[in-house]
């Protein structure tokens, strides 16, 4: 997905703060490989980061706060396994919402 407006339209979060799944350059390829929808990810971290910052800026410009939720591949895999969730867009959103609501790093809540 390359269209920011389309990403916003598909975002089901309706609260005043939107959690955004955020990745590290060092683990981006691992994240892509483990996701069942990894083929939909940008092919490089730099491309993904450019897209993600546009999505973030869109929300901020509309007065909606965002929180970057770091997605560690190991933590996310354990979280999905423990909850029988698929490692896909719905799983990432649920994980991001869970971390954002907990107010702590995912590792502290596992």
Average pLDDT over residues 49-77: 93
> In this structure, is residue 108 part of a structural domain?
no
> In this structure, is residue 64 part of a structural domain?
yes
> In this structure, is residue 54 part of a structural domain?
yes
> In this structure, is residue 110 part of a structural domain?
no
Query: Is pLDDT of 108 > 60?
Result: no
Q: How many domains does the chain have?
A: 1
> In this structure, is residue 25 part of a structural domain?
yes
Q: Which residue, chain included where needed, has tokens 């350059």?
A: 25
Q: Provide the domain limits for residue 22.
A: 4-103
Task: Give the tens place of pLDDT for each residue, 53-62.
Answer: 999 999 899 8
pTM of the model: 0.78
- Considering only residues 100 and 41, tell me which one the structure prediction assigns the higher pLDDT: 41
Task: Give the tens place of pLDDT for each residue, 10-51.
Answer: 555 555 788 999 999 999 999 999 999 999 999 999 999 999
> In this structure, is residue 79 part of a structural domain?
yes
Per-residue burial over 58-91, b = 16 or more CB atoms within 10 Å of its CB, e = otherwise: bbeeeebebeebbbbbebbeebbeeeeeebeeeb
Query: Is pLDDT of 6 > 80?
Result: no
Confidence of residue 109 (pLDDT cuts 50, 70, 90): very low
> In this structure, is residue 91 part of a structural domain?
yes
């Amino acid at each position: 997905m390359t269209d920011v407006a389309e990403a916003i339209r598909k975002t089901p979060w309706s609260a005043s703060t939107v959690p955004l799944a955020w990745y590290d350059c060092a683990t981006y390829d691992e994240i892509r490989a483990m996701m069942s929808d990894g083929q939909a990810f940008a092919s490089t971290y730099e491309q993904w980061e450019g897209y993600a910052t546009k999505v973030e800026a869109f929300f901020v410009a509309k007065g909606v706060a965002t929180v970057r939720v770091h997605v560690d591949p190991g933590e996310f895999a354990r979280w999905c396994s423990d909850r029988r969730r698929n490692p896909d867009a719905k799983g990432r959103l649920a994980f991001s919402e869970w971390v954002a609501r907990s107010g702590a790093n995912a590792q502290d809540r596992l």
